[in-house]
Amino acid sequence: MISTVPYHVCLMIQIMLIIFHGLLYTHNITVIGTGYVGLVSGAGFAELGHQVLCADIDTQKIEQLKQGIIPIYEPGLDALVAKNIATGLLSFTNDVQNAVLKNDILFIAVGTPMSDEGKADLQYVYNVVDTIGKSIKNTHKIIVTKSTVPVNTGKEIRSMLEKEYSIPPHLFSVVSNPEFLREGSAVEDFLNPDRIVLGADNTQALSIIKEIYQPLLDKGSILITTNLQTSELIKYAANAMLALKLTFINQIANLADKVSADTKIIAQGIGSDKRIGYYFLNAGPGYGGSCFPKDTQALWYIAHQHNVPLEIVKATIIANEYQKTVPVQKLKKLFKKKDVSGNLRGKKIAILGLAFKGNTDDIRYSPAITIIEQLLLEGAIVTAYDEAAIKNMKALFPDILYFDCPYEAVKNSDAIIIATEWESFKSLDFDYIATLVKTKIIIDARNIIDPQILKGAGFFGDAIGQTYNYN
């Protein structure tokens, strides 16, 4: 005889199992640092159902975040933060020590800027370790480095806590969990990652951190588990490979300029090879931002310290610095062709785009900085427009002229340089712009405008690796 269970009972059991599963994998997390990585990660962990406390010593920033004011430009982040503040899963504090005491899973997400000699500056990481060392009592802490740190930093953290703070080794574990967030699409990258990398000195700690990411693993994200050193090196190796790929196509573009070849078609020709792929084959004025410049420098520094000749990375760094000078070189050549004078003194040059790439307000190591510096040294008058980065660039160049509208920025200009690939620039009315400018000269350093559109509007221009299409 077969007994049957009523449908409503089955449904209740299923709901209870779902709730139990959620409770089983729900954790209380402290994220220390509320920059790009810390804020996106904290909001992302809350979105996955965890109780998250984000801590930062910057009191003004914390007060803004409590009010739902996001201090950085990152598409979708404001909505994600607001949603999880409303649910009570995300909160903020400037009391870092209390945040360390409150939760047993601690993510370190502070900055690791580049020092003058090229190595990663770990002072902020060690400041957090100092707070942790003074706060660990009798409960086990899992310390996770989300910040990009050199190889053996995890081992150094363990050594510091054991030797300098006399913390028994059984009271804490160290895990490396590098981030792979692209500025401008960081929220999407967190919630739909290509892979999740975990390196640990303790298998139990690794299992707990894996549980935090279980909803993403259930959706198909790849999990890579390894030791601390390998995890730390994966991050540097990944950024160095991407930087190398960008630099390679930029150097090919420079050659294409000399031989009247089209870099976009070249990129298509080599990118269709599955061993190479299309990504990061867009020629331009060089890479910038918070990751590639400092991480390639740090990787080269690490290799140099271990007497490993990582010359391919060093060459990438040198080539990228040169690439940032290419737009102004091209501009001077165009002026020579146009009026037999390459002198930029007194010329009004409009810069469209200041961020190191589109969809961010980050100007760190932006090619636009080098472009502006060169123009000012040449005696040019610089006007500028960007969708999000004007405030940040004003801190570096307070005396140039900034505009809230691209059409105002280019008015009466002698030349235009497109320095950032904002999507909105593709829909600019260049026929109208042609009526505003003094001289129809343009450098599309991002290769985002159809050369035929510019030519049709009467512009005399150049791009990176597409010279022959303009003239």
Classify residue 120 by its DSSP letter. Answer: B
Domains present along the chain, CATH in parentheses: 7-226 (3.40.50.720), 237-321 (1.10.1040.10), 324-469 (3.40.50.720)
Query: 349 - beta bridge partners?
Result: 382, 415
194-198, 264-268, 333-337, 432-436: least confidently modelled range: 333-337
SS3 sequence of 145-180: ECCCCCCCHHHHHHHHHHHCCCCCHHHEEEEECCCC
For 149, list phi and psi in degrees, rounded to 5. Answer: -130, 150
Crossing angle of helices 123-135 and 153-163, rounded to 10°: 40
The pTM of the full predicted model, rounded to 2 decimals, is: 0.87
For residues 440 and 460, the answer to whether their CB atoms sit within 8 Å is yes
pLDDT, tens digit, for every residue of 151-174? 999 999 999 999 999 999 999 999
Q: What is the pLDDT of residue 6?
A: 54
pLDDT, tens digit, for every residue of 38-93? 999 999 999 999 999 999 999 999 999 999 899 999 999 999 999 999 999 999 99
Write down the catalytic residue from 10, 54, 291, 405.
291
pLDDT, tens digit, for every residue of 202-246? 899 999 999 999 999 999 999 999 999 999 999 999 999 999 999
Task: Check if 54 is active-site.
Answer: no
Lookup: tokens for 358: 């589109």
Nearest to 50 by CA among 74, 75, 24: 24
Q: Is the pLDDT of residue 252 over 90?
A: yes
Label residue 376 exposed, middle or buried (CB < 10 Å: 0-12, 13-18, 19+): middle
Percent of the chain predicted with pLDDT > 90: 86
